Chain A
């Protein structure tokens, strides 16, 4: 059974810091991995999607990497800003069937 874990559960950093959020999954047989952002009381916004054949994806100040063999993904945020404060969720697609399995999320606070 696929399980997804995100550590830490919460993180507080001063503005301007570079930071890394971690995601691990128990079964390396995945088709893709997505990182989402969730603001309080809002839905999920897709940030980056990495197909199983890819190693990383970049969008602006965000970079996500994928190491299937070790069951790990990281989301790197450069030069963090208070507007980056949100909960970040990773999710894996374990089969070619559409069902995403989510981690519990990391709640990030960036202090001015």
Chain B
């Protein structure tokens, strides 16, 4: 079974530039998550999709971050404009569903973003 795919793996940009990350979840997984992991910390949820609808974006900095999941499969996360503090690993995860019995989350390899 193929895992969660993410690209690119690494990205270096200057502050105020824009960047986009792509995620392809495990086939059949209805729920998709984007997490931000700052060095030395645990991941923090940015946004959660159920199929193609947003169910939790309470911790997404909406003035600069946006995300979409068209057709309920692939997802993109965009940052515009980037700030120095956005330097982190961006992890995508998916699960069969949101309820606890279906909520074993599987993670992709992440995208390491460096903002200079």
Measured CA separation A59–B85 after assembly (Å): 38
Q: Report whether A46 and B106 are in contact in the complex, using a CB–CB cutoff of 8 Å.
A: yes
Q: Mark B31-42, 1 if CB is under 8 A from A, else 0.
A: 101000000111
Q: Is B45 an interface residue (CB 8 A)?
A: yes
Count A-B pairs with CB separation below 8 Å: 69
Q: Mark A73-112, 1 if CB is under 8 A from B, else 0.
A: 0000000000000000101010011111011110000000
A51-B100 in contact given A44-B91, A46-B105, A98-B95 (Cβ < 8 Å) = yes
Minimum Cβ distance to chain A for residue B46 (Å): 11
Q: Mark B10-28, 1 if CB is under 8 A from A, else 0.
A: 0000000000000000000
Q: Mark A35-68, 1 if CB is under 8 A from B, else 0.
A: 0100001111110010110000000000000000
Q: Is A32 an interface residue (CB 8 A)?
A: yes
A104-B55 in contact given A43-B91, A46-B105 (Cβ < 8 Å) = no
A97-B43 in contact given A32-B103, A43-B91, A46-B104 (Cβ < 8 Å) = no
Minimum Cβ distance to chain A for residue B1 (Å): 13
Residues of A within 8 A of B (CB): 4, 31-32, 34, 36, 41-46, 49, 51-52, 89, 91, 93, 96-100, 102-105
